[in-house]
Amino acid sequence: MLGFPKPYSDELLYSTVARAGVHDGETSPKQLLDQVFENRKIIATVDLPSHVQSLAQQYPSNSGLNTSLLIARHTLWPIYAPFLPPERIKKLRNWMAEQSQGAAHLASGIAASRVKAKTELFACRPCLAEQRLKYGECYWHRLWQVPLVRMCPKHGALSRSNIELDGEHRHAFIPVESADLFQDVLVKEQDEVFAKQCAQLLLSNCEGISFAQWSLFYKQFAVSLNYLDGSRIDHSKIHDTVVTFWGKQWLEDVRILPSRIETSWLKSLFRKHRKSFSFAEHIVAIVALSDGRLSISEAINQASSLIISAAETKNQSAQKHDVEPVAPPSPDQLQWKTLLKSYSPKAARQIYKALYARLYRNNYEWLMEIDKSFHTETTLKNHRVDWSKRDRKIARELRRVCKALTENLNAPHLSRTFLIHQLNQRATVEKNLSRLPRCAMLLTLYSESTTEYQARRLTRAYLSMRNKHREIKRWSLLREAGLSDERMTELITALLKDILSE
């Protein structure tokens, strides 16, 4: 089809096809299917459509609008992909690229999930007005279609439309301009929190996190926030915190109120994962238990970077065997080795200075290696480290440091490394983070993403200019905040616009 429209930001492919029909003056849905897909049996799917490859072929190859990009940015893929194991991800993507016949819905777990897809299309009226102003036409935004989302984070309640997704409209791609919108749906303040998390999730490009990684993530998460009863997970405390945070009624409304029975989804979430959980369940648990300090995207980043320890340990011991000295030892080396059986490397160095100097000159690498191995051996023998105790101690220091820093608008970028470097035992933390789950979780909670850092700079600049009664222009605000258009993330560009319009 000639001149097939490009999708707008976050536009559903369903919507792009619908606009193609409008642009082309194509009124019969069957003819539209023929023209775009050369197939009249296509079902107009909103969330995880199939035949995406046919759509990608409508664009020139240098446009960058390939199958993967269309799936990632113009379907509800990011809502499902981070929570499915790698083998299912691959199948799902293939089905979406080609033909699916409902297989995508089975693979994604939607069919079996407590969280069902919406049965009608929804829209945000103020967003539609903005789109009309900006582009001269309107489109279906994908956030409106995310299951359980009842609010546009920017404007408020969504409106239900008369477009039902099964039944008579099965094969029709209907443009938003042809839809009738009913009254706004009723929303609560929890809906805003939930919608914001979903909006973030749509920007995530992480996928295929294994069950083992999610299991470990939740274990560390519970430990770091002290949801423990002795050394076991305190399921009852977790349950109460989640229900108090979201409210029983809201959880009932969206049909994911966890029960108290052994097989409740919330209890299973903190056990070894054997099946995937929906995005909504992850959001509800993570946001409630961290009291809003850990977002779903941060949790995803953390879970995806977890290395499953058995494999890690194997790798490390394999590496250690490679560093044995190859040449026969010199008399100096033999003497040093004997000395180390009675003295620590430091003591031996102080007593036998000349010997040490010779070895330092002639056998530097060997010397460092043997000193290190004797040093670690003594540490292991004499002072077995209580990692759990150390974790708690450093975590207390870390929490104090982070609290002071986060209250300071002028603090530099609170990256993970920066936070670690504020600690007395920074080398220990850097080298042994996997043994310090509390510290690891605190670092995730408190470290700032680039967007968060830029937001803080922007706010700081704005407040400082306002206090000095300076006129706030876009360029002057950017200069004061040390930001530029090239470096700003998408969210910051939007925030800047909001600040300037006030």
User: Which is closer to Zn ion, CB of 124 or CB of 306?
Assistant: 124
**Residue 155 near Zn ion by CB under 5 A:** yes
User: Which is closer to Zn ion, CB of 52 or CB of 199?
Assistant: 199
Write each residue from 73 to 112 as x if it is in contact with Zn ion (CB under 5 A), else as -, in one continuous string. ----------------------------------------
Q: Which one of 116-124, 180-188, 195-203, 368-376 is the stretch in contact with Zn ion (CB under 5 A)?
A: 116-124
- Backbone Cα Rg of the chain: 29
**Residue 143 near Zn ion by CB under 5 A:** no
User: Which is closer to Zn ion, CB of 362 or CB of 493?
Assistant: 493
Other CB atoms within a 10 A radius of the CB of residue 278 amount to: 23
Q: What are the distances in angstroms from CA 138 to CA 101, 159, 169?
A: 29, 15, 20
Total site size for Zn ion, rule CB under 5 A: 6
Q: Which one of 96-104, 149-157, 273-281, 373-381 is the stretch in contact with Zn ion (CB under 5 A)?
A: 149-157
User: Which is closer to Zn ion, CB of 131 or CB of 278?
Assistant: 131
**Residue 149 near Zn ion by CB under 5 A:** no
Q: Which residues contact 396 (CB under 8 A, 6 or more apart)?
A: none
User: Which is closer to Zn ion, CB of 124 or CB of 163?
Assistant: 124
**Residue 199 near Zn ion by CB under 5 A:** no
Please name the amino acid found at residue 35. Answer: Q
> Pick from 127, 395, 398, 496: which binds Zn ion (CB under 5 A)?
127
User: Which is closer to Zn ion, CB of 175 or CB of 208?
Assistant: 175
**Residue 158 near Zn ion by CB under 5 A:** no
**Residue 152 near Zn ion by CB under 5 A:** yes
Please name the amino acid found at residue 103. Answer: A
Q: Which one of 46-54, 148-156, 229-237, 336-344 is the stretch in contact with Zn ion (CB under 5 A)?
A: 148-156
Work out how close the CB of 452 gets to Zn ion at its nearest, in angstroms, rounded to a whole number: 23
Give the helix ranges, DSSP H, for 203-247: 211-224, 235-246
Other CB atoms within a 10 A radius of the CB of residue 44 amount to: 19
DSSP letter for 408, please: -
User: Which is closer to Zn ion, CB of 124 or CB of 165?
Assistant: 124
Please name the amino acid found at residue 36. Answer: V
From 75, 81, 87, 111, select the one nearest 303 (Cα to Cα).
Answer: 81
277, 85 Cβ separation under 8 angstroms: no
**Residue 124 near Zn ion by CB under 5 A:** yes
Other CB atoms within a 10 A radius of the CB of residue 368 amount to: 12
Q: Which residues contact 33 (CB under 8 A, 6 or more apart)?
A: 39, 40, 41, 42, 171
The contact set with Zn ion (CB under 5 A) reads 124, 126-127, 152, 154-155
